[in-house]
Structure 1
């Protein structure tokens, strides 16, 4: 199996979900990963060594591992997290391995990721969206003690993710970073581009704030799919409906259109919510694909095979 050239953009568990689904359909996958994480092991390594946060890159590599005992073993090695109270506590071994390769090959971040990938024989390639670590700054709105609306500015991916209030806008620092050239090329040459699911404002939206990436997404001849989340219970989704998630994409990248938007009917509970979602989807030029992609009994988790089937149906419809 080779299959169409697919680029998936995102970060963390959301990107891993789309990658695990897509690997059932093609071997020509490129994961373009956000580089704004500043929490946990990634945040510690980023602060101490001034490197790209490796955690989301590691997770994408693990998600694309070869479906053999060898691939799964190395995936487990990369994901292994040290316990205890010492300096290694909380670090994922894969983060340290990626950092070591970057230390041996300064300014060759892509080459280092490719070398780690050779351990897993992955179905595809993993690239950072930019070659410098980025920060996320968000404008949030919350209700004050007196009932009035209060706006605040919060900086840092982990702070935005857990800060109370509704995210109104996000931006990157630096404001117009250069994209990874290989990431731009992969989008330009793709047959299909998938954005989402994931933490909407800290994993999905940042890709649209890198000018070269957004231009490539707008100009590519590839079909474009927006995959929505199967839950609105995380902190970043506070105060938002699925329609408003799509609207946030349109607000931050008004020149970007999609061909299809995939949503789970379990998150669209009323006729009014469905009508609002259809209107938002129409605003970005897409058709709505309303199909079950959530995992039974696991709220907020995509089912790999159901999501793969949704992607397969869209790809078949487009002749891919």
Structure 2
């Protein structure tokens, strides 16, 4: 089963960790709009793709492929107060490969070979992108007034309510962002595509704002699955219900339809409302105990993998999206899911 997961940061890490329990054919398509921390410094100083979210994807693959040392080293940050302070080893390695090879996709494929992982990591765009958001609640005299905020960190940490985002190449609002062709090809060839969980406005929605990638997500015959967050995120989605996450998602991409929505049952105050919201989008809601009982706000990879299997109809006796819609490998090629 060829799976593609789109996202960034810890949310994408959770999806990839769970998916490797379902199939080894996994491609991560990663957001490239980060402008904070080590990634932001490398982006500003070298003009490269921000490597942080890409690094997280490699760490997830390495940990699942038995490369726990590589995963730990990739995530290790230098201490002290010198020039390297705060930089992650994986960020520096990827930045070096970007500069030496001059092609981000070739660099990421070389990193996969170097670390020895079977999953593929791709950027959603070959160029660094900038997020711009319309935010309400920042004007003390008019709570409905909208203000524009630029930058991933500013959007993620705003005390206001994000209403809508746009995406463009850094400093070039006159043209739309370019998609990574290999990412487009992966989405079109996939048996199943996943969106979420993660920072909704800065890690999940940006993929839908790259025109050619959006078109590929609309056109692909793959089964499409949305994985919802466990808790609202301050600033970005504070006060959002689970169904509001879906409303925002499809407000930004009204042509997109999904086959399944996965959510943690304890994170859904009104299950019938979520089921109706999923049905309006053409999908089926699957509620399960997918939260890690030890860590608040984190998915349990084994539990999430089981829910993914159920949603795709891989569990014995289940009637998930893959079975119900006839999509994916079995529907297109007569092969069994594996």
Select between 74-83 and 200-209 the one with higher mean Cα deviation. 74-83
**Which residue of 103, 113, 123 maps to 1:128?**
123
Per-residue CA deviations over 1:225-247 (Å, capped at 9, x if unaligned) read: 00000111433111321111100
Q: How far does residue 42 in structure 1 lie from its aligned partner after superposition?
A: 0.2
In 2, Cα distance between equivalents of 1:299 and 1:184: 34
**Is 1:145–2:140 an aligned residue pair?**
yes
Report SS of the residue matched to 2:82.
coil
Residue in 1 that maps onto 2:229: 229
Preserved CA contact (<8 Å) 2:199 2:233: no
Q: How far does residue 283 in structure 1 lie from its aligned partner after superposition?
A: 2.3
Shift in CA distance, 262/54, structure 1 to aligned 2, threshold 3 Å? same
Preserved CA contact (<8 Å) 2:134 2:148: yes
Residue in 2 that maps onto 1:84: 80
Preserved CA contact (<8 Å) 1:23 1:123: no
Report SS of the residue matched to 1:171.
strand
Residue in 1 that maps onto 2:331: none
In 2, Cα distance between equivalents of 1:244 and 1:68: 36
Residue in 1 that maps onto 2:100: 104
1:174-253 → structure 2 map (5 Å cutoff): 174=169, 176-253=176-253
Preserved CA contact (<8 Å) 2:5 2:12: yes
**Is 1:62–2:65 an aligned residue pair?**
no
**Which residue of 33, 43, 46 maps to 1:46?**
43
TM-score (norm 1): 0.94
In 2, Cα distance between equivalents of 1:277 and 1:152: 30
Q: How far does residue 197 in structure 1 lie from its aligned partner after superposition?
A: 0.3
**Which residue of 164, 173, 182 maps to 2:168?**
173
Q: How far does residue 134 in structure 1 lie from its aligned partner after superposition?
A: 0.2
Report SS of the residue matched to 1:229.
coil
Q: How far does residue 143 in structure 1 lie from its aligned partner after superposition?
A: 6.2
In 2, Cα distance between equivalents of 1:29 and 1:146: 49
1:16-31 → structure 2 map (5 Å cutoff): 16-31=13-28
Preserved CA contact (<8 Å) 1:74 1:119: no
In 2, Cα distance between equivalents of 1:104 and 1:292: 45
1:262-281 → structure 2 map (5 Å cutoff): 262-269=262-269, 273-281=270-278
1:276-291 → structure 2 map (5 Å cutoff): 276-291=273-288
CA RMSD of superposed structures (Å):
1.4
Residue in 1 that maps onto 2:108: 113
**Matched residue count:** 312
Shift in CA distance, 145/54, structure 1 to aligned 2, threshold 3 Å? same
In 2, Cα distance between equivalents of 1:280 and 1:46: 39
Q: How far does residue 215 in structure 1 lie from its aligned partner after superposition?
A: 0.7
In 2, Cα distance between equivalents of 1:26 and 1:47: 37
TM-score (norm 2): 0.89
